[in-house]
């Protein structure tokens, strides 16, 4: 039933029970039962012409996540200080199964416009956030994610085969941070480091987004150290809260 929610995208925001049944290869009565249950939970609502769209309960859940997720709640002060000090957009991303999703974006004074803000699923093998997440992902999880994105990997020199991917990620781990320029947005660049979550939530990625012009004159290693200090501060804040 929850897989129904995966069908709703920006390209296909409205679905009928018949279309849901066809896509999920289930019976029409089953599709109607799924839709009714999701409507009762507020996750879907009726729209025009017998279609259904995502429900307002999702907006409430998003608000609750931003207020209660330990990383976003306890790390908020450190993330905002980083945003103010650097003028860059500050972004945080995490892995959910075979998806890499931006879970936070703070807008800096530089005023860049990034395509993959909060709530967006990122390409798995492009961009500093994705590469950072993969570099600190356990090997079994990395294999599963790679297998789920073979078509995308084939078109990326960074990940043209699994051994190449592992070698590239090993270099990132040794360096301690990842950077990219123009991989997601032509005029933008980014630098990212891992955040080791103490709450068994895995490893997140913390990054800054800046213009390629500014990136060309930026001491990337120094920015990496600044990010590392913020990531450590976020981790300490979560640990302090957990300790009571």
Q: Which pLDDT does position 13 carry in this prediction? A: 95
Same domain, 37 and 135: no
> For residue 64, is it within any domain?
no
Q: Check which CATH number belongs to the domain holding 88 and give it.
A: 3.30.450.40
d(CA 105, CA 66): 11
> For residue 84, is it within any domain?
yes
For the ranges 79-88, 164-173, 235-244, the lowest mean pLDDT is seen at: 235-244
> For residue 113, is it within any domain?
yes
> For residue 9, is it within any domain?
yes
Q: How confident is the model at residue 3 (pLDDT cuts 50, 70, 90)?
A: very high
Q: Which residues contact 174 (CB under 8 A, 6 or more apart)?
A: none
HSE value, Cβ hemisphere, 13 Å, CA-based, for 104: 24
Same domain, 168 and 128: yes
Same domain, 98 and 22: no
Same domain, 157 and 195: yes
> For residue 15, is it within any domain?
yes
At which of 10, 39, 59 does a domain end? 59
pLDDT exceeding 90 applies to what percent of the chain?
Answer: 85
At which of 59, 88, 108 does a domain end? 59
Same domain, 105 and 31: no
Is residue 82 over pLDDT 80? Answer: yes
Q: How confident is the model at residue 234 (pLDDT cuts 50, 70, 90)?
A: very high
Task: Look at the alpha carbons of 141, 147, 148, 149 in this order and tell me if their dihedral is positive or negative.
Answer: positive
> For residue 117, is it within any domain?
yes
Total-model pTM? 0.88
Measured N-to-C along each axis, helices 128-135 and 162-175 cross at an angle, to the nearest 10 degrees, of 90
Provide the mean pLDDT of the chain. Answer: 94
Same domain, 77 and 173: yes
* The pair of three-digit structure tokens given for residue 130, joined into one six-digit string: 């994705």
At which of 38, 59, 80 does a domain end? 59
Measured N-to-C along each axis, helices 17-24 and 28-40 cross at an angle, to the nearest 10 degrees, of 120
d(CA 81, CA 114): 20
Same domain, 51 and 98: no
For 95-127, write each residue's pLDDT tens digit.
988 999 999 999 999 999 898 889 899 999 999
Q: Which pLDDT does position 177 carry in this prediction? A: 95
* The pair of three-digit structure tokens given for residue 8, joined into one six-digit string: 């709703």
Same domain, 88 and 11: no
Same domain, 228 and 111: yes
> Which CA distances in Å does 91 have to 1, 78, 133, 242?
31, 12, 13, 23
Locate tokens 């929610």: which residue?
5
Q: Which pLDDT does position 61 carry in this prediction? A: 93
For the ranges 15-29, 157-171, 189-203, the lowest mean pLDDT is seen at: 189-203
Q: Which pLDDT does position 242 carry in this prediction? A: 80
> For residue 122, is it within any domain?
yes
Same domain, 55 and 100: no
Same domain, 186 and 231: yes
Task: State the CB neighbour count (10 A cutoff) for residue 120.
Answer: 17
Q: Find the domain containing 202 and state its range.
A: 69-242
Q: Which pLDDT does position 199 carry in this prediction? A: 77
Helices (H), the chain: 17-24, 28-40, 57-68, 70-74, 76-86, 128-135, 139-148, 150-154, 162-175, 212-216, 220-242
For 173-224, write each residue's pLDDT tens digit.
999 999 999 999 999 999 999 999 887 778 999 999 999 999 999 999 999 9
By CB atoms closer than 10 A (0-12, 13-18, 19+), residue 121 is middle
Report the domain count for the chain.
2
Q: Check which CATH number belongs to the domain holding 35 and give it.
A: 1.10.10.10
d(CA 240, CA 64): 21
Q: Which pLDDT does position 83 carry in this prediction? A: 97
> For residue 116, is it within any domain?
yes
What is residue 69's DSSP assignment? -
Same domain, 75 and 143: yes
């Amino acid at each position: 039933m929850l897989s129904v929610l995966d069908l709703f995208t920006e390209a296909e925001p409205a679905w009928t029970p018949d279309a849901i049944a066809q896509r999920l290869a289930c019976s029409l009565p089953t599709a109607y039962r799924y839709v009714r249950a999701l409507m009762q939970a507020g996750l879907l609502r009726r729209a025009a012409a017998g279609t259904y769209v995502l429900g307002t309960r999702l907006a409430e859940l998003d608000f609750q996540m931003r207020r209660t997720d330990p990383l976003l709640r306890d790390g908020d002060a450190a993330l905002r200080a980083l945003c103010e000090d650097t003028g860059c957009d500050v972004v945080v991303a995490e892995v959910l199964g075979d998806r890499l999703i931006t879970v936070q974006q703070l807008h800096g004074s530089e005023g860049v416009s990034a395509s993959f803000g909060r709530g967006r699923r990122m390409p798995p093998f492009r961009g500093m956030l994705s590469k950072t997440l993969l570099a600190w992902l356990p090997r079994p999880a990395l294999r599963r994610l790679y297998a789920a994105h073979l078509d995308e990997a084939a078109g990326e020199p960074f990940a043209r085969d699994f051994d190449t991917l592992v070698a590239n990620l090993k270099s990132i781990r040794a360096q301690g941070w990842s950077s990219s320029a123009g991989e997601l947005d032509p005029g933008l660049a980014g630098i990212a480091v891992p955040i080791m979550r103490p709450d068994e939530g895995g490893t997140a990625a913390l990054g800054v987004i800046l213009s390629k012009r500014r990136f060309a004159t930026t001491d990337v290693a120094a920015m990496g150290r600044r990010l590392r200090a913020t990531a450590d501060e976020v981790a300490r804040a979560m640990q302090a809260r957990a300790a009571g």
